Structure 1
Amino acid sequence: MPTDLLIHAPQPHTIGVLVLTVVALVLFTRENISLETSSFFVLCMLVIGFQIFPYVKSNGEVFPVSSFFLGFGNEALVAVCALMIAGQALVRTGATEPVGRFLAKMWGYSPSLSLLMTLIVGAVLSAFINNTPIVVLLLPVLINVSLKTGQSPSGTLMPMGLATLLGGMSTTIGTSTNLLVVQVAEDLGVPKFDMFDFALPVIIASALAILYLWLVAPLIIPERLPPLRDTSPRVFTAELKINEGSYADGKTLAKIRDKLDGKISISRIVRGDNLSIATLPDVVIHAGDRLLVTDTPDNLREYEIELGASLYTGRKQVGESNPLSAGDQSIAELVITSGSLLDRVRVGDARLESKFGLTLLAIHSQGKETSALSKGVNDRVIHQGDVLLVQGSNEAIKAVKKSGSLLLLDGGEELPHTEKAPLALAVMATVVALAAFNITSIAVSATVGCFVLIATGCLRWHDATRALSVQVILIIVASLALGSALMTTGGADFLANVFVVTTHALAPGMVLGILMLVMAVLTNVVSNNATAVIGTPIAVSIAQRMGMPVEPFVLAVLFGANLSYVTPMAYKTNLLVMNAGGYKFNDFVRVGLPLAIIMWLSLTGLLTWIYQLY
């Protein structure tokens, strides 16, 4: 073996950083530990470790610990945050609503061609806009089509979501991953990538992938029951009139609740003609009192029997001639998106009924359903990607949809659209154009664009701050710090050397393909941003040791980190689609794995051909 391929023993600091890298990757896969906590832990460990054991560089200078905090001001992070805010403005104003309306009309003419058009439109838009607003735009369209045709949306929702991921790979601003890889590579001395520098190989590979999503994926996706067609029991509001001599007569509210194992939820007590009594535990209930209760028909009947009460709706007693009726009540889905009012809020604190006139029936999260009547559900925290099955009056549902404050799907075609929509769209187009023509960087144009959106009322400060994801910010900062430590201590060179030694007998194109495959595997189990930031310096070192052009190896990391198709947790929109469509984990493996293989082989071959890595 040539001497330049020998693996030299790493230094103590290098070993420490490599161990922390492994720990970080493991932590990022743990569902019971939030990514924010894991990222903050990694950042703190770096700071503490280098503070206690200072690292002296080859030139005699001590590596400054404060440099680990530079990620908070990194240009790529600024661009990511600004684009998050700008994307939220498109959602709030309904700027892309005309596209959704056009696609909805097309489905009436040719469902097959409409699916193809939906995939193409989703991919193209995602090249310039974060794919979350695109998925939010297209979800109501596809849900509505499925309800009108009586067919399951299983064959359309997942292909649509995956198509937006394909498009996001084609430009430097398509995803936060792209922005980070490009910025980190530039910091390492790699010539700057312009917006469309790597669009050609992505377009060619994506064309094959879209054909797969159009013709094959719908055939292999099992038919799933989405939450909107859920069989969760509906709830009704009724009065329990306490009869004289019944169990409840003369008992405190606390004892009544104990009798029913705490299941009953009493919203109001009415005594006499119209006297409201506070629902305090020590309140004594008397004959003639009316308890206002909202629950399922079975539970209401149980309360009636156990308490010896009579069940009423309005002024009539419930019976065969006067059954429980939901009136104008309808069922709808609340999809929790990035920046949603309900993101990271406890169910008990959401106050859906008092704020929006909606009653929670069930929560769908990662393919699992939890009834709103389940014990402890009020303490559960709502997360991005969850779908809340709610019931409310037609007016309440229409009001929520019109406000645009929450993504609510009820099978209707109406999407939020405000008079500010054209302005928001114009601002976003200007932001992209300024960066595309190299007039200014995307960080500058997006930041100024955010100011314009807020100043003109397209977005409120409250909405802007909610659009920012602490999780994304901390992952990026921690990953940048870890990447810096790998480069400074020689960890990246060590890993690159191991990689080169292991693959030295292979052609450069095959080495590039293996690197992309490793990134693809990591991105489906670890954060894609972490994979990209940690992988970029290693890719640069690999190319330098092989004496090959750096650009294709950087692109191998960028492309590999974007192949987040195989698991629902690999990307945030995967979770949105999973819960909205009622998919299972294995459904993503079944559809996403072939897609990832198609993209991996295509992009490897194209990069090998373009850069002549024979």
Structure 2
Amino acid sequence: MSLALPNYHALGVLLLVLLALVLFSRDRIPLETSSLVVLAILTIGFQVFPYVGPDGRELSPTDFYAGFGHQALIAVCSLMILGHGLIRSGALEPVGRGLAISWRKAPALSMLATLLVCAVLSAFINNTPIVVMLLPILIGVAMRTGQSPSGMLLPVGLISIVGGMSTTIGTSTNLLVVSVAADMGVAPFRMFDFIVPAAIAGTVSVLYLWLIAPRLIPERQAPMQSTVKRLYTAQIRLGKSSEVVGKTLAEAIDRSGGNMKVEKIQRGPGVFVTPLPDVALKAGDRITTTATRDNLREYAHLLGGRLFSGDVEVDDAHPLGPGDQKIAEVAVTPQSRLVGSRISEARLLSRYGLRLLALHRYNREDQTRSTGLDNTVLRSGDVLLVQSPSSRLNQLKEGGDLLVLDGSVNLPKTSKAPIALGIMVLVVAIAAFGILPIAISAVAGVLAMLLTRCLNWKEAMNALSIQVVMIIVASLAMGAALMRTGGADWIAQIFLSLSFGIPSWAILGLLMLSMAALTNVVSNNAAAVIGTPIAISLAQQLMLPAEPFVLAVLFGSNLSFATPMAYQTNLLVMNAGGYKFNDFVRVGLPLMLVLWVVLTLTLAYAYQI
């Protein structure tokens, strides 16, 4: 079977898709930046080289911006805000607290209950806040029982992804696939139209993650507290004989090796001097700095001063004490304002009262070796070892930027919880019964949460992710370009020629496996939107119903279990639990392959292909 090359525009789009997949797989390039590159190339390219389709209509470059107003994006953003409203109002507090209590009584059955609850909630709520809610609970269980949390965290993270593929609103991927398919003429999927194959896959997943997965995971310890020295704040008081009296602060810092960070200079009762480099130091000045015990003593010796903690001179009889300072591990959440910020610009001390002691991240070494810790760009899932007063850590638990991994069950509980839960139930019910599309009912739900003060505008905006918005818009643009230029048809023809002679159900399985492989390397939203027009074209050329092929793309794009970078909660769980890359391969790859077989056979049987 001969296969002609596509037209130049389709070929250009295919090359751009390949470039996009490469960009999306690069950790060091933000997804939103890669998405903007794709949009810019598409619009400029079609403006400079206009394309006229077979129907005689010219494709307007501005059509690629339509994703910003697409109903799928509106629904995704609204559901992200609604999920955040449930967490902030404490609507899920009874669930979390009930699980925490049950873990003390029957750990084995509680693990099963946790998996089931997580799967069910993830079918209707974005799984990120659910995982964020459960992580401290499970870590607390591990602390109380003296066991490693590694057998708990990874299974819970993976089941949240499985649960998310059960309904049209479970993940942004699902919403994108069903919306793009509807735009292309496929009968719209209702909320529970594919619940049966998803429930079968979910049952298999729960049994695997409950009974088998914990035995496959080596014991891991999240790691950092034993390897890092505590910081202490003290004053270096300069006497008349101090060698730095009369010199500038910059010269004094140079004497310390350039490492001393001066927080303030006190010059007499209630008099403070701004610690600028050119400030001349005087006898009696009190320099406040924070460092390890050994470094503080070294600084005092080099500056010719005496070390004080409060009004007591530090010596063998009066050593430095921690005071109210606690050491804790905190994780950067996917919706955090800190994502994309350099550590030196994050203002951890002034904004959150945190002193950074160490950073834990999968393959962090390669970046920090070349850039240094201060220039490291924070990512979702990064775990920071910090030192802070207890009060500031408690305040941190009420924000959404950092998740305190101290094992405490400190879930929000407000009088608005029943209202927020009722709004969410109404949104889902109205969409499930076909009264209103989810894009409309979800927007109405956001308005209801704002009017009832379950959320304020600042919290609503914090729930949104520019990364999610940009990847969805860019993916929709690439999908539209593939379809309009004939690129999707050409890929479908290649797929058919390579699979010539095999049964249609096997072609369906190969399509799902291709999406599963792709989604573990690049964004699942990108894989889904690119794969949907190809799936529809494939079904048309096989003269088969499009629905099973669309679902093959939907399910395949959700099988993001085999690598930590495949899904944002994977990275969060990985860093919080101290997992290695191979742990995801060891546990996630078998799960991916088992669900691929189960879902392929289920779809083939259900649609008789």
Cα distance in 2 for partners of 1:88, 1:346 equals: 26
Q: Deviations over 1:538-593 (max 9, x none)?
A: 00111111122211111110011001111111111111111211222222122111
Unpaired stretches in structure 2, ≥5 consecutive residues:
none
Q: Does 1:79 align with 2:71?
A: no
Which residue of the partner structure matches residue 382 of structure 2? 386
Distance 1:486 1:402, change over 3 A: closer
Which residue of the partner structure matches residue 299 of structure 1? 295
Which residue of the partner structure matches residue 514 of structure 1? 510
Q: From 253, 260, 265, give the equivalent of 1:264.
A: 260
- Given that residues 265 and 285 in structure 2 are in contact (C-alpha distance below 8 angstroms), is that contact kept between their aligned partners in structure 1? yes
Which residue of the partner structure matches residue 277 of structure 1? 273
Q: From 419, 424, 427, give the equivalent of 1:423.
A: 419
- Given that residues 361 and 371 in structure 1 are in contact (C-alpha distance below 8 angstroms), is that contact kept between their aligned partners in structure 2? no
Structure 1 residue 175: Cα displacement: 0.3
Which residue of the partner structure matches residue 27 of structure 2? 31
* Structure 1 stretches of 4+ moved >4 Å: 227-230, 369-372, 402-406
Aligned counterparts, 1:329-478, within 5 A = 329-366=325-362, 368=364, 377-402=373-398, 406-478=402-474
| One-letter code aligned to 1:387 | V
Structure 1 residue 225: Cα displacement: 2.2
Cα distance in 1 for partners of 2:553, 2:478 equals: 16
Distance 1:230 1:447, change over 3 A: farther
Q: Is 493-502 or 109-118 further displaced after alignment? A: 109-118
Give the 3-state SS of the residue equivalent to 2:287 in structure 1: strand
Distance 1:22 1:368, change over 3 A: closer
Q: Is 96-105 or 62-71 further displaced after alignment? A: 62-71
- Given that residues 82 and 424 in structure 2 are in contact (C-alpha distance below 8 angstroms), is that contact kept between their aligned partners in structure 1? yes
Which residue of the partner structure matches residue 92 of structure 2? 96
- Given that residues 91 and 404 in structure 1 are in contact (C-alpha distance below 8 angstroms), is that contact kept between their aligned partners in structure 2? no
Q: From 534, 543, 558, give the equivalent of 2:554.
A: 558
Unpaired stretches in structure 1, ≥5 consecutive residues:
none
- Given that residues 24 and 522 in structure 2 are in contact (C-alpha distance below 8 angstroms), is that contact kept between their aligned partners in structure 1? yes
Which residue of the partner structure matches residue 236 of structure 2? 240
Cα distance in 2 for partners of 1:582, 1:22 equals: 33
Structure 1 residue 367: Cα displacement: 5.6
Q: Does 1:139 align with 2:142?
A: no
Give the 3-state SS of the residue equivalent to 2:104 in structure 1: coil
Structure 1 residue 7: Cα displacement: 2.0
Q: From 176, 179, 195, give the equivalent of 2:175.
A: 179
Q: From 576, 580, 586, give the equivalent of 2:576.
A: 580
Please report the RMSD computed on the Cα atoms of aligned residues, expressed in angstroms. Answer: 2.2
Which residue of the partner structure matches residue 168 of structure 1? 164
- Given that residues 228 and 332 in structure 1 are in contact (C-alpha distance below 8 angstroms), is that contact kept between their aligned partners in structure 2? no
Cα distance in 1 for partners of 2:273, 2:459 equals: 38
Give the TM-score normalised by the residue count of structure 1. 0.95
Cα distance in 1 for partners of 2:464, 2:129 equals: 14
Which residue of the partner structure matches residue 311 of structure 2? 315
| One-letter code aligned to 1:91 | I
- Given that residues 338 and 401 in structure 2 are in contact (C-alpha distance below 8 angstroms), is that contact kept between their aligned partners in structure 1? no
Cα distance in 1 for partners of 2:387, 2:367 equals: 13
Q: Deviations over 1:335-360 (max 9, x none)?
A: 22233343334434433333433322
Q: Is 508-517 or 527-536 further displaced after alignment? A: 508-517
Give the 3-state SS of the residue equivalent to 1:382 in structure 2: coil
Give the 3-state SS of the residue equivalent to 2:384 in structure 1: strand
Number of positions where the alignment pairs a residue of Structure 1 with one of Structure 2? 609
| One-letter code aligned to 2:94 | P
Which residue of the partner structure matches residue 19 of structure 1? 15
Q: Is 347-356 or 567-576 further displaced after alignment? A: 347-356
Q: Is 280-289 or 425-434 further displaced after alignment? A: 280-289
| One-letter code aligned to 2:592 | A
Identity %: 55
Which residue of the partner structure matches residue 9 of structure 1? 5
Distance 1:272 1:427, change over 3 A: same
| One-letter code aligned to 2:82 | A
Distance 1:227 1:453, change over 3 A: farther
Cα distance in 2 for partners of 1:185, 1:256 equals: 67
Structure 1 residue 219: Cα displacement: 1.8
Give the 3-state SS of the residue equivalent to 1:381 in structure 2: coil
Distance 1:133 1:537, change over 3 A: same
Q: From 47, 50, 53, give the equivalent of 1:54.
A: 50
